[in-house]
Amino acid sequence: MLATTAPAAKLRRIAMKHRIVSVFVASALLAAPAFAQTTSPATDPTVEAPSTSGAAPVTPTATPGEVVIVVPEGYVLTELTSVTSDQLKGVNVYDQHDSKIAEIADVVIGADSKVTGVITDVGGFLGIGEHRVSLSPEQVKVYKNSKNDIRAYVSMSKDELKALPEFKAPNQ
């Protein structure tokens, strides 16, 4: 009796393996069109997105070689002095292509009570392997929308930020 049930069990296992493989193949075939989707047309990187906040939109005058930052609709350039350091801490930093490349870790305030540096964490994962760099206030552009969501932009890539010298706090 055992001799006749062993081949049947083996056939059931083979049939189950075929079903599982078939499911994976069908899933891959169904997912293929999603990977083939085209993205929306790229915006012209020399034009800043229009503002919907009622403020006059900024018309960039890019000279050859100058990088113009493309900002999502609804965000308006805000003076760095109009936001607090607590509001800036943890704000994501984006490059000119609207890709997240860093996070603001801290703000350096000078003796004259003005912002003298913006400390950013570049790279790493969950605080491990981060490269901390200091940027001048002129290198960081802060944008805010009507919901007070803040975004910071720099005209550098993630690799360019990582190449900057590591920031060491004065007391370290």
- The domain in which residue 19 lies consists of 1-37
- How far apart CA 96 and CA 163 sit, in angstroms, is 17
- How far apart CA 131 and CA 120 sit, in angstroms, is 8
Pair (153, 98) in one structural domain: yes
Assess if residue 125 is contained within a domain: yes
Pair (30, 80) in one structural domain: no
Could you give the number of structural domains in the chain? Answer: 2
Pair (88, 136) in one structural domain: yes
Assess if residue 10 is contained within a domain: yes
CA 105 to chain centre: 15
Q: What pTM, to 2 d.p., does this model score?
A: 0.58
What pLDDT, on a 0 to 100 scale, did the predictor assign at position 24? 53
Assess if residue 105 is contained within a domain: yes
What pLDDT, on a 0 to 100 scale, did the predictor assign at position 120? 92
Assess if residue 132 is contained within a domain: yes
Assess if residue 135 is contained within a domain: yes
What pLDDT, on a 0 to 100 scale, did the predictor assign at position 23? 58
Assess if residue 60 is contained within a domain: no
DSSP strand pairing (141-144 vs 76-78): antiparallel
Q: What is the pLDDT of residues 53-87, one digit of tens each?
A: 444 444 444 444 555 677 778 889 988 888 888 89
Q: Is the pLDDT of residue 132 over 80?
A: yes
Assess if residue 124 is contained within a domain: yes
3-class DSSP assignment, residue 65: coil
Q: What is the pLDDT of residues 34-55, one digit of tens each?
A: 444 444 444 444 444 444 444 4
